[in-house]
Amino acid sequence: MGRRLYSALLYALSPLIWRRLRRERLDDHPRGERLGRIPAYHDERVLWVHAASVGEVITARPLIRSLIDDYPDHRVIVTTMTATGARQVQTLFGDLVTHHFVALDFPGATRRFVARLDPEIAIIVETEIWPNLIHACAMAGVPVTIVNARITERGFARYQRFPKLMGEAIRRLAWVGAKSAEDAKRFRTLGVSARRLNVTGALKYDQHIDEAVFDAADALREVIGDRPVWVAGSTHEGEETQLLQAHVRLLARFPDALLMMVPRHPQRFGEVAELCLERGMSVVRRSEEASIAPGTQVYLGDTMGELMMLYATGDVAFVGGSLVDIGGHNLLEPAALGLPVVSGPSLSSLGDVVTTLDEAHARVEVESAAMLGETLVSLMLDETRRETLGRNARAVVDANRGALGHTRDYLGRLIRARELHEPWPLADDRQPGSGR
Question: Is 182 an annotated catalytic residue?
Answer: no
Phi–psi pair at 152, nearest 5 degrees: -75, 165
Q: Using N-to-C axis directions, what is the helix angle for 3-12 and 131-139, rounded to 10°?
A: 120
**Cα(first)–Cα(last) distance of the chain, in Å?**
29
Q: What are the angstrom distances between the C-alpha of 3 and each of 145, 334, 397?
A: 20, 42, 41
- Answer for the pair 96, 68: CB distance below 8 angstroms, yes or no: yes
Q: Mapping DSSP to helix (H, G, I), strand (E, B) and coil, where does residue 349 land?
A: coil
CA torsion 16→328→284→53, rounded to 10°? Answer: -40
Q: Mapping DSSP to helix (H, G, I), strand (E, B) and coil, where does residue 247 land?
A: helix
307-329 core/surface letters (b: 16 or more CB in 10 A; e: else): bbbbbbbbbbbbbbbbbbebebb
Instruction: Give CA angle at 267 (259, 296), nearest 5°.
Output: 25
Instruction: Give CA angle at 234 (228, 235), nearest 5°.
Output: 80
Catalytic residue from among 56, 120, 128, 306:
56
Q: Mapping DSSP to helix (H, G, I), strand (E, B) and coil, where does residue 416 land?
A: helix
Q: What is the largest CA-CA distance in the chain?
A: 68
State the Cα–Cα distance between residues 403 and 23, nearest whole angstrom. Answer: 34
State the Cα–Cα distance between residues 164 and 127, nearest whole angstrom. Answer: 18
Report the residue count for the chain: 436
For residue 281, what are the contacts with CB-CB under 8 A and spacing of at least 6?
244, 247, 297, 298
Residue 102 is classified by DSSP as P
- Answer for the pair 223, 291: CB distance below 8 angstroms, yes or no: yes
- Answer for the pair 74, 47: CB distance below 8 angstroms, yes or no: yes
Q: What are the angstrom distances between the C-alpha of 303 and each of 54, 234, 289, 311?
A: 13, 12, 11, 14
Q: Catalytic site residues?
A: 56
